[in-house]
């Protein structure tokens, strides 16, 4: 029986791909022990136990992107996090990391403990934790091609899909046109009207919500329907016959399938799920971090399946000037989704087994 540790906490963008790999590993080797590393504050505390996997905590590591005196405090946080990670990783047969603040200490702990590790980078522009990991392990894989640094020669696996999205693709690939009609019906919308799905992540986006709220009457006047995931942290607007606001949407696979146009951020997981099931998107990259959200969306834009707009340029006026052209492009977009990420979890598991065999 092998012991596998997965590091990827904090946000759904790190946790969901890790869960997909954990499920794939458990199917292939049901006797192996699988443990997640996380902190007491991340979404992993809800998602990992709900999926049936064990979760161990390490102290949270907070590092500002710009140099400051807080970096002195972060040094001690890092030491504590590495120490806690080592107690979890020591004796394991493999660590699989997906980036984020949880992964950095885990990578150092695995190297000290001589535990082989596989590192998966979801974004087109790697973050600091995975750049650190790429120095410590030769077993690297990426969701899409990276054009500089150690990850440019990494194995391209795609991004592991969430279970409901993968199942929806498999169920739809025989007849995507019918699947889209049925998904719209399940969500309670009339198939005769174009459906626009708007979301800003699990917590929502104040910027996107404000623009939608200001433009809403004029957009609805075009005869469209709108499904709006405003985020759990935002107040819920009043619903109308063709405008359905929700705090959080559980039927994400149906939303991707049913929507003629999706207006959203361009996190790696969102882009991957859209690629599998969606038709056309307007991406508004979050203007923080190292610019990875722009690069995540660029491939889809190059393929003619999306348009990118900077947040500073996205407002009610932009929407009203472009919405009809966006819907027209959507009508000409491919009906079928893409299977490019369908087997990503299997590929990462295979790389993990190879790393274990070279120990």
State the burial class of residue 21 (Cβ atoms within 10 Å of its Cβ: 0-12, 13-18, 19+).
buried
pLDDT value for 76: 84
Alpha helical stretches, state H, 114-162: 128-136
Task: Give yes or no for a contact between 2 and 21, defined as CB atoms under 8 angstroms apart.
Answer: no
CA distance 207 to 179: 32
pLDDT value for 95: 98
Tallying the residues shown for the chain, one arrives at 359
pLDDT value for 304: 93
Most confident of the following: 45-49, 56-60, 142-146, 352-356: 352-356
Task: Give yes or no for a contact between 309 and 318, defined as CB atoms under 8 angstroms apart.
Answer: yes
Q: Note the pLDDT tens digit of each residue in 172-193.
A: 999 999 999 999 999 999 888 9
Structural element, H or E, at residue 264: strand 261-264
pLDDT value for 11: 79
pLDDT value for 145: 86
CA distance 296 to 294: 5
Average pLDDT over residues 326-337: 95
Task: Give yes or no for a contact between 105 and 89, defined as CB atoms under 8 angstroms apart.
Answer: no
Q: Is the pLDDT score of 210 beyond 70?
A: yes
Q: Note the pLDDT tens digit of each residue in 219-260.
A: 999 999 999 999 887 888 899 999 999 998 889 999 999 999
Q: Is the pLDDT score of 124 beyond 90?
A: no
Q: Note the pLDDT tens digit of each residue in 41-80.
A: 888 999 999 999 999 999 987 665 566 555 666 788 888 9
Task: Give yes or no for a contact between 282 and 263, defined as CB atoms under 8 angstroms apart.
Answer: yes
Mean pLDDT, the chain, rounded, equals 92
pTM score of the predicted model = 0.90
CA distance 199 to 232: 11
Q: Note the pLDDT tens digit of each residue in 301-327.
A: 999 999 999 999 999 999 999 999 999
């Amino acid at each position: 029986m092998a012991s596998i540790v997965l590091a990827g906490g904090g946000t759904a963008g790190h946790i969901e791909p890790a869960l997909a790999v954990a499920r794939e590993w458990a199917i292939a080797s049901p006797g192996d022990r699988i443990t997640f590393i996380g902190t007491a504050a991340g979404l992993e505390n809800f998602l990992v136990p709900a999926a049936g996997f064990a979760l161990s905590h390490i102290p949270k590591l907070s590092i500002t992107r710009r140099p400051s005196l807080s970096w002195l405090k972060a040094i001690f946080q890092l030491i504590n996090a590495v120490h806690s990670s080592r107690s979890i990783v020591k004796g394991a047969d493999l660590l699989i990391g997906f980036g984020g603040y949880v992964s950095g200490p885990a990578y150092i702990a695995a190297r000290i403990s001589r535990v082989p590790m596989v590192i998966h980078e979801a974004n087109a522009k790697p973050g600091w934790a995975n750049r650190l990991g790429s120095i410590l392990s030769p077993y690297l894989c990426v969701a899409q091609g990276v054009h500089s640094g150690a990850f440019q020669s990494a194995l391209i696996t795609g991004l592991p899909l969430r279970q409901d999205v993968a199942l929806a693709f498999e169920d739809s690939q025989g007849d995507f046109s019918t699947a889209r009609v049925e998904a719209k019906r399940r969500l309670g919308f009339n198939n005769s009207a174009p459906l626009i799905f708007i979301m800003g992540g699990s917590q929502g986006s104040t910027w996107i919500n404000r623009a939608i709220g200001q433009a809403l009457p004029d957009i609805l006047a075009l005869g469209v329907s709108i499904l709006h995931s405003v985020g759990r942290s935002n107040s819920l607007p009043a619903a109308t016959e063709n405008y359905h606001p929700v705090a959080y949407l559980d039927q994400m696979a149906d939303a991707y399938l049913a929507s003629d146009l999706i207006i959203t951020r361009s996190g790696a997981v969102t882009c991957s799920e859209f690629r599998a099931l969606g038709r056309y998107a307007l991406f508004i990259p979050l203007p923080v971090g190292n610019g990875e959200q722009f690069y995540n969306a660029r491939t889809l834009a190059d393929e003619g399946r999306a348009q990118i707009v900077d947040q500073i340029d996205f407002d009610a006026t932009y929407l009203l000037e472009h919405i009809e052209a966006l819907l027209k492009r959507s009508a000409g977009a491919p009906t079928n989704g893409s299977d490019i990420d369908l087997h990503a979890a299997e590929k990462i598991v295979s790389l993990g087994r190879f790393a274990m065999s070279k120990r």
